[in-house]
Amino acid sequence: MSTLLSAKSLSHRYGTQLAVNNVSFEIYKGEVLGFLGPNGAGKSTTMKMLSGNLAPNQGEIIINGYDLLTEPKQAKAQIGYLPEQPPLYKELTVKEFLSFCAQINQIPTSKIKSSVDTAIERCGLTNVTKRLIANLSKGYQQRVGIAQAIIHTPAVVILDEPTSGLDPIQIKEIRHLIRDIASEHSVILSTHILPEVQTLCDRVQIINQGQLVFMDTLAGLSQYMKSSSLLVTLNSPPNIDQLQNISGVYSVELLSTTQFKLHYQPDNNPSEELVNLAVNQHWQLTELTPVQHSLEDIFMNIIQQESATEEQA
């Protein structure tokens, strides 16, 4: 698997505040890496360092074989970057702006037209090439922003909150575009929208208080917290103490007079014992459903666990 970006031991301070603390990771050709974290966690600072807009206080960034600190021109030529606020010259038409972007990315004059045409086609801008960017919808402006990021066919495309503020139809279109881009580039997607991660990403990393606290595939993230709760409805329920005494159950949540949520150790599922007791003692079991954890649940669990560990240290 070809490594297109390698970040090693990145740190950055704003005065006395350590915004990013010893962050290391890699991204491989053809994948989308989701970069998650709560507000103020260090996501945007990391994105700025990776794109060459902010120098790290320490660490190393290698992009497609070039060191961003010692070979900045060569390394930056391998990067496409869309910040949260797209860097657009709104008094230009779409075609004028992308032609300008091709020039500043040092695309040879003979190839500018084909590069612009390709970016326009890939980003679905064919019908608006002669319109002023200022007169486009936010969704189309975002497309123009992505087009400028890929016009020079970089190895790595960095997108910071690319669907922020868009309507549902625009979000769907931009997500489809990002997935298409990933087929030829590597994409780092910084976002706080968790469904976006489920839809787009191959791997996920979570940053909290400047440190990476989780790195795994999307499948690995989903497996991080297996269901460890059961939703149970008993028409003739026993008292809560009897449910609490079932092997593996460590707490019982009373939802109504007949419905309970049983929390248990993940490696000690009490379902079988519960069913046997319900039959033998005539509890009239009518529902036994594993409680599925959402990606939001998993995300919050990781953040809270990390915070609790820091408080104990």
Each residue's pLDDT tens digit, 269-312? 999 999 999 999 999 999 999 887 777 777 777 777 666 566 55
The predicted pLDDT at position 37 comes to 85
Helix orientation angle between 109-122 and 138-150, rounded to the nearest 10 degrees = 140
Strand intervals (E) in 29-161: 32-36, 58-63, 66-67, 79-82, 156-160
The predicted pLDDT at position 297 comes to 74
The predicted pLDDT at position 193 comes to 80
The predicted pLDDT at position 304 comes to 74
Query: Secondary structure of the chain: what % helix, strand, coil (to 5)?
Result: 40, 30, 35
Eight-state DSSP code of residue 93: B
The predicted pLDDT at position 95 comes to 98
* Residues of the chain scoring pLDDT < 70: 222-227, 305-313
Segment 192-228, tens digit of pLDDT: 787 888 889 999 999 999 999 889 998 787 666 566 8
The predicted pLDDT at position 265 comes to 79
The predicted pLDDT at position 166 comes to 84
CA separation, residue 135 to residues 38, 51, 92, 131, 258 (Å):
33, 29, 10, 7, 58
The predicted pLDDT at position 301 comes to 74
The predicted pLDDT at position 60 comes to 97
The predicted pLDDT at position 40 comes to 85
Cα atoms in the 13 Å half-sphere on the side-chain side of 282: 0
Output the average pLDDT for the chain: 90
CA separation for the pair 128, 232 (Å, rounded): 56
